[in-house]
Every structure is written in C-alpha cells, then in structure tokens.
Amino acid sequence: MDVQTALVFALQLVALFSIAGALLLYLLCKIRGNSKPDENGTSPGGGKPVLITCCDNVVGLQVAIHLANRGFRVFAGLKEGATEGCNNDDSVPSRVIRSWQKHRESTECLTTGALIALPIDVTREDVLHEAVDIIRAHLPAGKDGLWAVINTGGLLYRGKLDQQNISHWDAMLKTTVLGILRVTRAFQGLLRSAGGRIITFGAIEGGEAGLVAYTASRYAVEGASNALREELSPMGIKVVCLNNHGLPDDLMFAMPKLKSKQESGDVSVDMSGCLDYYPTALSDTALQTLDVAITSGKPKRNYTLMRNPKWLNPLQFVKVV
C-alpha cells in the first residue's frame, strides 16, 4: 500500500470514528436530557410511587393516566368494586385503567410508568388501612414510601340553602374535607418515609347560588391544607394546594363516559386498542402545572391550574395513549 492510499484510508477511518463518536455523544445527551428537569422544573416520574385517592371522576382518572404516562408508578383509587379488588369491576374508570395496562403490556415500552387500581373509600378508615398494606406490597424491594398523595375525591350537590337536604351537606363535608384528613392520617407514615407531598384541590374564587355548602367545603380544604403544611413540615412532608378557578364545578367530579361508535354502538378505541372516554377536565397547561407541583424539590404552597378557562370544551374526548 503506497503512502497516498494509506493516507486516504486513514482519513476515512477518522471520519468514520468521528461520525460514530458524534452519534454516541448525541445519544448520551438525549438520555441525560430525558432524565434532567426541563425548563419548568419538571422531570420524568422515574417510577416514583404516587397515590390518586379517587379515579372514579374525570379529574382523578385523567391525572392518573397522565402521571403513569410520565413514568410514575400510580396507585389509582377506585371506590366501585372495592370488595373485589377492582379486577372484576365493570365501571368506566376500571375499564379504562385495564385498557391502559393491557396496551402497555402488549407494547415493549421501556417506561417505568405503571397504573395499579386498588380499592379506596375515603370515608372508611378500614379500607384506607387495607390500601396502605396493598401499596406496601407493590413497592419495589427496599422502598417504603409514597412520593405523593393527590386528593381528587369529593362530592357536589346543588340546591338553595333553605331547600337542600342537610344530608347532602354532611356527605360533601365527610367526603371532601374529612376524607382528606383520614387519608393524611392513614398514609402519613408512607409519606414521611419518602419525604413526600400531599396535593389538594382547594378553594374556588367567588361563589355561586345553590353551591353554598359545596363552596364551604372547598374553602375548608384550603384551610386544612394550610394547617397540615405547618404540622407536617417538621416531618419532611410538603403540602401543596391547587387553585382550580376556571374549572366548572359540575365537571370537577363528573363521572367519565366511554365514547361509542355512532353507527354500531360499540365502544370506541384508538389505533392502539385503548379506550376513549370523555369529558376532558384539565388542559395541557393545567397538567404541566401539576407536573411542576409534583416534581419540584421545593414546591410552592399554591398553584393556579386554569389560567385561561375559555379553552375548555366539556364534550372534548380524552384519548388513553
């Protein structure tokens, strides 16, 4: 081999190794970029365990699926079918969760996200204590803590104060306010172990005729969150309250419905075989705000979810991806 041929061959090798090195560097940067916080301070879930107390409504179900897709290990509380462990429950939330699980199993997805349904009734301490044991059993070896507990349970009954049944007041306060206190007491140990956080949906701005008791329950949640923040701070537990101004009250705790094919009446699925349901509750911006609240090392006391509520279309469908 003459000198000129050898030189050309050497240059080709240098170019080849340069391309390979550049490609390797790009892949390393891509991997590191996916594991670092983005410009909003959020980062992938990394398998962190999170409990959503109620996925029977559209807010809880949407948050659960969103966080599971973000890589969190989500425990989705379902009141329906609690005695059967939710596996045989035919409710819409349970079917949607099972479709997410089946789709994830059928695709060789490398994400650490998971969605685990478990029975939770925030009005029953015995069920809450059983849920603690179930979560502990599903945590990875050596792990004994929850990164976050997101309180999405609640009730809304409309009616003027002088006409409304007092039992409706009791039910709203028992579920919305006392439910958060019961959940906090039951899961305090798991939260303390992980230095976790409690997230609540607090007061709405203003008020509306026919929603006096409901509005009172929302402000009570915010007041309880402030007091819990002071009490739990020495234990390393953070408390974050989300302001849901702009989110329609009736949509907050609406029950999800499956989208059906108009012609055949069959349940609609997307291209990957996952179930479609509606309505949409939280906008993309609201979900990004939630991401910040749940991933920030030093979260704020309060976040506003709906900065531009005009976007909302209550009939917009949510696609389970």
Identify the domain containing residue 11 by its residue range.
1-36
User: What average pLDDT does the segment 137-146 reach?
Assistant: 87
- Cα 74 to Cα 50: distance, rounded to the nearest angstrom: 5
Q: Cβ contacts of residue 253 below 8 Å, gap of 6+?
A: 57, 59, 154, 155, 156
Kindly report the CA angle at 114 between 112 and 115, in degrees rounded to 5?
165
Per-residue exposure over 165-180, b if at least 16 CB sit within 10 Å of its own CB, e if not: eeebbebbbebbbbbb
Query: pLDDT: is 22 or 94 the higher one?
Result: 94
Name the average pLDDT for the chain: 82
Q: Do 11 and 111 belong together in one domain? A: no
Write down the pLDDT at residue 36.
43
Q: Do 183 and 308 belong together in one domain? A: yes
Residue 34 half-sphere exposure toward CB, CA atoms < 13 A: 11
Write down the pLDDT at residue 45.
76
Q: Do 55 and 155 belong together in one domain? A: yes
Tell whether the model's pLDDT for residue 207 goes beyond 50.
yes
Confidence of residue 86 (pLDDT cuts 50, 70, 90): low
User: What average pLDDT does the segment 228-246 reach?
Assistant: 94
Write down the pLDDT at residue 206.
63
Q: Do 25 and 50 belong together in one domain? A: no
Q: Do 72 and 154 belong together in one domain? A: yes
- Cα 19 to Cα 251: distance, rounded to the nearest angstrom: 53
Count of structural domains, the chain: 2
Q: In percent, how much of the chain has pLDDT > 70?
A: 74
Q: Do 233 and 315 belong together in one domain? A: yes
CB 132 within 8 A of CB 190: yes
For residue 127, being part of any structural domain is answered with yes
